[in-house]
Amino acid sequence: MKGFILLAFLSISCFQVFGQKGYELGALAGVSVYVGDINPTYSLKTPGPSLAVIGRYNFNTRTSIRMDIAAGRLVGKDQLSENPFQKARNLSFRTDYIDSSIDLEFNFFPYVHGSRNQYFTPYIFGGLAFVYYNPKAKLDGTWYGLRDMGTEGQAIGDEYAQISPALSYGIGVKMDFNYEWSLNVELSARQMFSDYIDDVSTTYPDMNELAARRGDIAPLLSDRSGELGIEPIGAEGRQRGVSGDKDSYYSLRVGIVYYIGLLQCPAISRPSN
């Protein structure tokens, strides 16, 4: 009898302490919104699609380590702003992005797959990401890569990087459907170390030098105020962006996650009589 009680106690303890060790894989979909020089006010007018695949390793019912791979599109348009300077500047861009991150995740409540009582929890996560981006703009029906245009006077070979580190962080909620499947809803952020996800950061270059270096299209993409029928504002050295404020983007996604399994407790030998 004592052996049976000990076995039951250890089984319950093992489930509570180790039971949530195991892997999770899932897919999420939603929208991403860019924040930066072309959208400094966190406007939600230009959402883009966003997809992500996530993997978790659960240390216990509270903490996990996770890896994400996500892709989506970010868009910004000065003409959607209420700011007179932005309207006159008239810049716009879009970029498809791919990011990969590794984060530590913490559940506010104990979370046990298949439990009737501990099947729901809010959570937070944070870590480091790397982001690939390539901003483009449309002119006369054609999309041009802005990085290759050196729109702020970058020398050939001195363009900004297309891959940047970023801080990764977010919040979410998860809820079990059953032992294997759960619903995850989360809002994640990427705070870039770069200010060029939108191709806007510092000042206007000398347009004659830019044309000589990059071709006649480059000045047209650097200063687009003339398209509005006003005097072009892109004088050399005039502010084009704010380099001290790095770009960021936010993604709201919903998806399902599959729990692969538990780490089995070690076998317990039967007590001798």
**184: pLDDT strictly greater than 80:** yes
pLDDT digits (tens, 9 = 90+) for 14-48: 444 444 688 999 999 999 999 999 999 999 999 99
Tens of pLDDT, residue by residue over 220-237, are 999 999 999 988 999 999
Whether residue 197 contacts residue 55, with contact meaning beta carbons closer than 8 Å, is answered with: no
Check whether 107 has a pLDDT greater than 90.
Answer: yes
Spatial distance between the Cα atoms of 24 and 260, rounded to a whole number of angstroms: 6
Counting every residue written for the chain, the total comes to: 273
Q: Which two tokens mark 48?
A: 């883009």
More confident residue, 14 or 141: 141
pLDDT at 265 over 60: no
Task: Kindly report the CATH number that applies to the domain delimited by 21-259.
Answer: 2.40.160.20
Q: How far is the C-alpha of 194 from the C-alpha of 138, rounded, in Å?
A: 22
Query: Do 39 and 75 form a contact (C-beta atoms < 8 A)?
Result: no
DSSP states of 114-132: T-SSS-EEEEEEEEEEEEE
More confident residue, 213 or 9: 213
Round to whole Å and give the CA distance between 50 and 95. 12
Q: What predicted TM-score, i.e. pTM, was given to this entire model?
A: 0.86
SS3 state of residue 269:
coil
Domain boundaries, the chain: 21-259
User: What type of residue is 148?
Assistant: D
